[in-house]
Structure 1
Amino acid sequence: MRDPAALTELVDLRLEPAEGPAAASPGAHPTLILKDSPMPAHLLSIPAVAAALDVDRRTVYRFIAAGELPVVDLRTGAGRSRVRVPVAGLEEFITSRSVTAPQPRR
């Protein structure tokens, strides 16, 4: 198991203004960038998703089992599967979980 602190050396979470269809909702959306790489990551490991959401990796697996997070299985043989979460799926998950602040009572 990787040390979560070591993940911060590999992945940079940035909040950038929303573009395209996401621009209809106010605020920024997360963009995960692999450090030492000019391109955004397209598939994220479970520990990277857990770090981005600030939850335990077991919680990420529960979201996957519930069908809330999509995965790509990179199985290369009869051994364990190696799943990754598409960045677009993580962004959609975050958007679906976003809530607006309640209006103050007068």
Structure 2
Amino acid sequence: MKNQILSVFGWTLIILSLLGIWNSILENPTVFMKKFTVMLLVGILLYFIYKIFGQSLAKKKGKIIFLRAARNRKVKTNNVKKTIPIIKRTSLNKLTASHLTVIKGKNKKKKHRVSS
């Protein structure tokens, strides 16, 4: 329901704008052409400004994000290196427990039953 209302509103807006453009072309084509060329030139100018400055800013932001990630990665690797010896010591202590034994397999003996 909501999409239908927006669709009808959108198409109505498009049709009215096309009628307005057609009316301005028929009444005074020179004024329309002047306005259209000014809008086109402003659009092209904005496009080139975005291409020149927008991409350089995006590249700078990308570099900043990359450097932050690299710095965080270094911090994490330094923290991991500090904790590794503690883990190795505890695992060695667990492996050298002499009071533990390993039981292999199932040690159930088969009972010989006499059939009656």
TM-score scaled by length of structure 1? 0.19
TM-score scaled by length of structure 2? 0.18
Greater relative contact order: 1 or 2 (C-alpha under 8 angstroms, separation 6 or more)?
A: 1
Rg: which structure is higher?
Answer: 2
Higher-strand-fraction structure:
1
